[in-house]
Amino acid sequence: MVEPFEQPIFVTRPLLPDLQIVTAKLQEIWAAQWLSNGGMQHQKLECALRDRLRVPNLTLFNNGTTALMAAVQTLGLAGEVITTPFTFVATTHALALNGLTPVFCDIDPSTMNIDPDQIESLITPKTSAIMPVHVYGMPCDVEQINEIARKHGLKVIYDAAHAFDSEVGGAGIGAYGDITMYSFHATKTFHTVEGGALAFGDAALKPRLERLKNFGIRDEERVDAVGFNGKLNELQAAVGLAVLDCLDGELTKRRALVDVYRAAFDGVPGLTLPPLSEHSRTTPSYFVIRIEKELFGSTRDDVYRHLQGYNVFARKYFYPLCSDFAPYRHLPSAAPQRLPVASRIARQVLALPLYGALSAREVERICELVLATPLRFSRGTERSLPAVFVSL
Ligand code: T4K
């Protein structure tokens, strides 16, 4: 019998560095009397992240959404951009807010990323770019996407909001595409409270991006682009430096918890676990299972509600699909019959709690609750718990 958790267990919790380390950095900021507009902490973080992410060029932003918008603007995209409906809505908004038409492409049933085999059929004379997302930190098929883009003369902007630590073929994920966006929101594995960055190969983009995020200002007397305020401030950059120092420990803990989940759910009929790949590395941003009622005996929503009854707040990332939201559902590419895989998977996904401060024992309890759901919500689907729980 599993007792409800005394404190709520959320899908994630921010990585909080030792407060004394943050305070010491705040003292440096106070001494410098420099709070924003590319100060010392900002410069240090930009260099540290460029090294850590192994990318040639990087520029910081105040969040991932403004970073994506700047990427779209600096590449001068127009017309249509092929993207995935299975993402957080900021991906789609970054296109629409810039007057672009998102064209939704169905997803791969295994990786849940944009299905590269379907991209070419969506290309029209109006297509200017592809915007794939490394969903849950799992790399897209970057080689095939790059090949399609090269063949058709399209730009590629990757949304790597979840993919800070992801790699393909030993290279950091930011090495692919024209521009890669990272989000450093508090809920991300690496964060600056709110923040983001763009990584890119072409060094000529850097001054343009820096102008865009600083109101388009060239110098004290010239403004030569319609820019906005996308700057990361010194306090947040300082938090980022402190978070970066403890990130490896967090990643190790999260990967160990992923193993606990995998061991508990391995072979359970109706539960699909995130795929494993020998050629790429996934950031442990989320642990997302897929639940098929016909085999598992309960729906995703049954499990979601059951967990809530025990003070566990899993999330249905990414349901509904972006193509189902009011601003986008009128688009021809948003029709559910054109997105059969994404439509099915969006009803099955459940992101379970994953963060370093959770203990293995807590994850085991969450697994037990997931597996016990049919006993509570459905009749005739009872099954015994795996051996790992016999001692609980
Ligand atoms: N592209 C993709 C693929 C993205 O996933 C995102 C953001 C973006 C682009 C845009 O990047 P940013 O502009 O945000 O940098 C959260 C985040 O707010 C959002 O950043 C993130 N994706 C999205 C997937 O998740 P919500 O509405 O689910 O957040 P919320 O407030 O419900 O938080 C989730 C859980 O985290 C809470 O249940 C408790 C916990 N939490 C949250 C915060 C903020 C904490 O424990 N402490 C905290 O401070 O969107």
pLDDT digits (tens, 9 = 90+) for 23-38: 999 999 999 999 999 9
How much is the average pLDDT of 354-363? 98
Rounded alpha-carbon distances, angstroms, from residue 87 to 69, 132, 222, 338, 346:
16, 9, 38, 17, 10
How much is the average pLDDT of 54-62? 98
Report the pLDDT value the prediction gives residue 387, as an integer from 0 to 100. Answer: 45
266 in Cβ contact with 273 (< 8 Å): yes
Asked if pLDDT for residue 382 goes beyond 70, the answer is: no
Asked if pLDDT for residue 3 goes beyond 90, the answer is: no
DSSP, collapsed to helix, strand or coil, labels residue 358 as coil
Dihedral angle over CA of 54, 55, 59, 64, nearest 10: -80
Report the pLDDT value the prediction gives residue 267, as an integer from 0 to 100. Answer: 95
Report the pLDDT value the prediction gives residue 2, as an integer from 0 to 100. Answer: 74
Asked if pLDDT for residue 390 goes beyond 60, the answer is: no
Rounded alpha-carbon distances, angstroms, from residue 228 to 66, 95, 117, 231, 352:
9, 16, 37, 9, 36
The amino acid at residue 196 is G
Asked if pLDDT for residue 139 goes beyond 60, the answer is: yes
Asked if pLDDT for residue 334 goes beyond 70, the answer is: yes
Asked if pLDDT for residue 392 goes beyond 50, the answer is: no
For residue 379, what pLDDT band results from cuts at 50, 70 and 90? very low
Ligand 1 neighbour 180 (Cβ under 6 A): no
Q: What is the 185 CA–ligand 1 centroid distance (Å)?
A: 7
Report the pLDDT value the prediction gives residue 374, as an integer from 0 to 100. Answer: 63
pTM: 0.95
Asked if pLDDT for residue 200 goes beyond 80, the answer is: yes
Asked if pLDDT for residue 338 goes beyond 70, the answer is: yes
Asked if pLDDT for residue 378 goes beyond 50, the answer is: no
Q: What is the 194 CA–ligand 1 centroid distance (Å)?
A: 10
Q: What stretch of H or E contains 82?
A: strand 80-83
DSSP, collapsed to helix, strand or coil, labels residue 101 as strand
Ligand 1 neighbour 111 (Cβ under 6 A): no
- What backbone phi and psi angles, to 5 degrees, belong to 379? -100, 150
Cis preceding-peptide flag for 318 (omega within 30 of 0): yes
Whole-number percent of the chain with pLDDT over 90: 93
Asked if pLDDT for residue 322 goes beyond 90, the answer is: yes
Report the pLDDT value the prediction gives residue 278, as an integer from 0 to 100. Answer: 86
Q: What is the 212 CA–ligand 1 centroid distance (Å)?
A: 25
How much is the average pLDDT of 44-62? 98
Ligand 1 neighbour 161 (Cβ under 6 A): yes
Report the pLDDT value the prediction gives residue 386, as an integer from 0 to 100. Answer: 46
DSSP line for 133-170:
B-GGGPPP-HHHHHHHHHHHT-EEEEE-TT-TT-EETT
Residues 6+ apart with CB under 8 A from 220: none
Measure the CA–CA gap between 98 and 157, rounded to whole angstroms. Answer: 14
How much is the average pLDDT of 280-301? 96
- The strand order across the sheet containing 287-291 reads 271-272, 287-291, 349-352
The structure tokens listed for 173 are: 């994920």
- Of the CA atoms within 13 Å of residue 99, those in its CB half-sphere come to 6
Measure the CA–CA gap between 345 and 107, rounded to whole angstroms. Answer: 9
| pLDDT averaged over every residue in the chain | 95
How much is the average pLDDT of 48-72? 98
Q: What is the 184 CA–ligand 1 centroid distance (Å)?
A: 10
